[in-house]
């Protein structure tokens, strides 16, 4: 088809016989005769500023990208439902968790952490597992990972940590020296590192991994009683992982493998699901637990704190528009319904600030009004105005910037307030000096990492894969840093430290050989 034929076919679109088709317009709604014909002075002359259609088109295109998430930029998502399978009225007043058979609509987004929006799904990286529950008491978000622990326990380390896992400021390359230098200086990461460099660090797909709150949260009741909890989502598809070489090969053959796997399985009616469990701990048990329950680098042993099933999450609907529903989704640990509260875990406390803050930057001050984020049932804050005020869905008060409703708690339009015990039961009591707190590293920080090393020993070939995965990455770091890392793994297990050293130095010698041969 020639250029002229093409424009003829576009002209045909405006023919009266197509009158039932939507008419193409500018963004101000005015009809346009031919979208692919810019106005020019004569057939070969320059363009005209008066071509408002072209200006409209290009200026909108120029603004199509919003900032990607500073972490967890690459992801995939879907809708689903959460069903209560076991009543936990003894622990919480959160309505969506009460009553066997009760169902709540959800939006889920899975992600990798360090890579950019176009990076490979199979990267060795923790995976994000975020769920938004559109409950009758507002939105409840679980912003979890696929590992039960994290790299740090003081939030002030987070920006530095993330910088070292991303690109070097000068070369703009991923940098093994920087990566390991941080970890060798902040060895409370060791437990998370053991997960990351096992084959669980490269899940086969988002469907084949668990999700964990990692943090301790609290379930509360109006009588002021509370229980510490950890939440686990266990995949019903079974755990499936990639070896390093499978992950590397997928990164080049199909970098969007996990995204495609999720979309295709839901599109074909094969709906992935997770069984949801909690671990519970009373304040008395917490007082005698050997670790702080606000230390995000530690797990609660399941033998002592058994998993108690509470429900099932099933994903059954793909988004119709990725950008609108998934890219613009704003998950935050601060989205909490009555009956669920944050614990004093300092990393969790800082996340309560960081997520809404980044959403205001990434999506704008009225990000709650974007349909993916808008509560389905209750939405009645005092916020007014700001960019894109009024875009909230029709069913909410916020639509049209709350019309003529008062913009303060007015006696002319009374607002109802739930009882204090229901939404803010008084539970914990804290008192102490305001002080910069250094959470010192001790030998106890290596105990759970050592346990995990032993668990790998009971799984065929997993210790060998772990050592190969570490040495394959560490061999690119500078020698001084490598030495510190051998000593760090030596604190987990003397033999492990030696094994990693032997394999890494072997790789270094081999790689040097290749470089010399190239010269």
Q: Which residues bind ligand HEM (CB under 6 A)?
A: 69-72, 75, 109, 111, 128, 130, 143-145, 150, 155, 158, 214, 329-331, 347, 350-351, 354-355, 358-359, 362
We find the least distance from the C-beta atom of residue 216 to ligand HEM, in angstroms, to be 11
Say whether 397 is catalytic: no
Q: How far apart are CA 156 and CA 172, in angstroms?
A: 24
* DSSP H helical ranges for 52-172: 52-61, 158-165
Q: CB of 80 within 8 A of CB of 330?
A: no
Q: How far apart are CA 3 and CA 80, in angstroms?
A: 46
We find the least distance from the C-beta atom of residue 483 to ligand HEM, in angstroms, to be 29
Strand partners, 132: 107, 141
We find the least distance from the C-beta atom of residue 510 to ligand HEM, in angstroms, to be 37
Query: Which CB atom, from 159 or from 306, has the smaller least distance to ligand HEM?
Result: 159
Q: CB of 480 within 8 A of CB of 491?
A: no
Which listed residue (36, 44, 60, 72) is catalytic?
Answer: 72
SS (H, E, C) 221-266: CCCCCEEEEEEEEEECCCCCECCHHHHHHHHHHCCCHHHHHHHHHH
Q: CB of 343 within 8 A of CB of 228?
A: yes
Query: Which CB atom, from 88 or from 372, has the smaller least distance to ligand HEM?
Result: 372
Query: Which CB atom, from 155 or from 472, has the smaller least distance to ligand HEM?
Result: 155
DSSP 445: G
Query: Which CB atom, from 201 or from 425, has the smaller least distance to ligand HEM?
Result: 201
Q: CB of 192 within 8 A of CB of 149?
A: yes
15 Cβ partners below 8 Å, 6+ apart?
Answer: none
| Structure tokens that stand for 182 in this block | 């941080």
Query: Which CB atom, from 211 or from 338, has the smaller least distance to ligand HEM?
Result: 211
Q: How far apart are CA 495 and CA 260, in angstroms?
A: 41
We find the least distance from the C-beta atom of residue 335 to ligand HEM, in angstroms, to be 12
Q: How far apart are CA 244 and CA 200, in angstroms?
A: 10
Query: Which CB atom, from 231 or from 467, has the smaller least distance to ligand HEM?
Result: 231
488 Cβ partners below 8 Å, 6+ apart?
Answer: 183, 184, 187, 190, 497
State the Cα angle at 77 between 358 and 386, rounded to 5°.
Answer: 35
We find the least distance from the C-beta atom of residue 64 to ligand HEM, in angstroms, to be 18
We find the least distance from the C-beta atom of residue 74 to ligand HEM, in angstroms, to be 10
Is 355 annotated to bind a ligand? Reply is yes
Say whether 145 is catalytic: yes
Nearest-CB residue for ligand HEM? 128
260 Cβ partners below 8 Å, 6+ apart?
Answer: 254
Q: Where are the beta strands (DSSP E) in 9-112?
A: 75-84, 103-112
Q: How far apart are CA 312 and CA 306, in angstroms?
A: 18
Query: Which CB atom, from 68 or from 83, has the smaller least distance to ligand HEM?
Result: 68
DSSP 178: H
Query: Which CB atom, from 125 or from 501, has the smaller least distance to ligand HEM?
Result: 125
C-alpha torsion sign, points 455, 457, 461, 463: positive
We find the least distance from the C-beta atom of residue 69 to ligand HEM, in angstroms, to be 4
Q: How far apart are CA 403 and CA 345, in angstroms?
A: 41
Which listed residue (145, 146, 366, 469) is catalytic?
Answer: 145
397 Cβ partners below 8 Å, 6+ apart?
Answer: 379, 380, 405
Q: How far apart are CA 503 and CA 499, in angstroms?
A: 6
| Structure tokens that stand for 233 in this block | 């989502």
We find the least distance from the C-beta atom of residue 230 to ligand HEM, in angstroms, to be 11
We find the least distance from the C-beta atom of residue 104 to ligand HEM, in angstroms, to be 19
- The dihedral region occupied by 189, where left means phi > 0, alpha psi between -120 and 50, and beta the remainder, is alpha
Query: Which CB atom, from 87 or from 154, has the smaller least distance to ligand HEM?
Result: 154
Residues known to be catalytic: 72, 145
Q: Which residues are annotated as a binding site for heme?
A: 355
| Binding site, annotated residues | 355
């Amino acid at each position: 088809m020639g250029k002229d034929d093409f424009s003829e076919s576009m002209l045909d679109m405006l023919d009266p016989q197509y009158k039932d088709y939507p008419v193409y317009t500018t963004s101000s709604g005015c009809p346009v005769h031919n979208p692919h014909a810019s106005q020019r002075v004569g057939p070969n002359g320059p363009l005209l500023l008066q071509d408002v259609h072209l200006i409209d088109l290009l200026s909108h295109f120029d603004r199509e990208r919003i900032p990607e998430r500073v972490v967890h930029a690459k992801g995939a998502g879907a809708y689903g439902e959460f069903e209560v399978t076991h009543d936990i009225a003894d622990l919480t007043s959160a309505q969506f968790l009460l009553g066997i058979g009760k169902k709540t609509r959800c939006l889920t987004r899975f992600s990798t952490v360090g890579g950019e929006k176009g990076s490979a799904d199979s990267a060795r990286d923790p995976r994000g597992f975020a769920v938004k529950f559109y409950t009758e008491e507002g939105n409840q978000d679980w912003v979890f990972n696929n590992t039960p622990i994290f790299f740090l326990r003081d939030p002030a380390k987070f920006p530095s940590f993330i910088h070292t896992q991303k690109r070097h400021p000068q070369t703009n390359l991923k940098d093994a020296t920087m990566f390991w230098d941080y970890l060798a200086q902040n060895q409370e990461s060791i437990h998370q590192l053991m997960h990351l460099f096992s084959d669980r660090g490269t899940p086969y797909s988002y469907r084949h991994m668990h999700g964990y709150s990692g943090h301790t949260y609290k379930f509360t009741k109006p009588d002021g009683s509370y229980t510490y909890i950890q939440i686990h989502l266990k995949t019903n598809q079974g755990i499936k992982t990639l070896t390093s070489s499978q992950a590397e090969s997928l990164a080049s053959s199909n970098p969007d493998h996990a995204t495609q796997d999720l979309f295709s399985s839901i599109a074909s009616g094969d709906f992935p699901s997770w069984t949801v469990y909690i671990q519970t701990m009373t304040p008395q048990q917490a007082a005698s637990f050997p670790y702080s329950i606000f230390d995000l680098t530690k797990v609660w042993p399941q033998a002592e704190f058994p998993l108690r099933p509470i429900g099932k999450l099933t994903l059954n609907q793909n988004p119709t528009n990725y950008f609108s529903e998934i890219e613009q989704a704003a998950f935050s640990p601060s989205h909490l319904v009555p009956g669920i509260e944050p614990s004093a875990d300092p990393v969790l406390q800082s996340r309560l600030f960081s997520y809404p803050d980044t959403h205001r930057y990434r999506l704008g001050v009225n990000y709650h009004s974007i349909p993916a984020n808008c509560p389905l049932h209750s939405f009645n804050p005092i916020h007014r105005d700001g960019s894109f005020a009024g875009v909230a869905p029709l069913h909410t008060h916020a639509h049209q910037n709350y019309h003529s409703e008062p913009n303060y708690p007015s006696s002319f339009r009374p607002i109802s307030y739930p009882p204090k015990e229901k939404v803010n039961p008084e539970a914990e009591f804290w008192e102490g000096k305001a002080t910069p707190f250094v959470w010192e590293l001790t030998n106890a920080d290596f105990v759970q990492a050592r346990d995990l090393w032993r668990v790998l020993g009971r799984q065929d070939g997993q210790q060998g894969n772990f050592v190969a995965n570490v040495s394959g990455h560490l061999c690119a770091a500078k020698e001084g840093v490598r030495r510190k890392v051998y000593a760090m793994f030596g604190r987990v297990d003397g033999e492990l430290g030696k094994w990693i050293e032997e394999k890494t130095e072997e790789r270094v010698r081999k790689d040097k050989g290749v470089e010399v041969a190239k010269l």
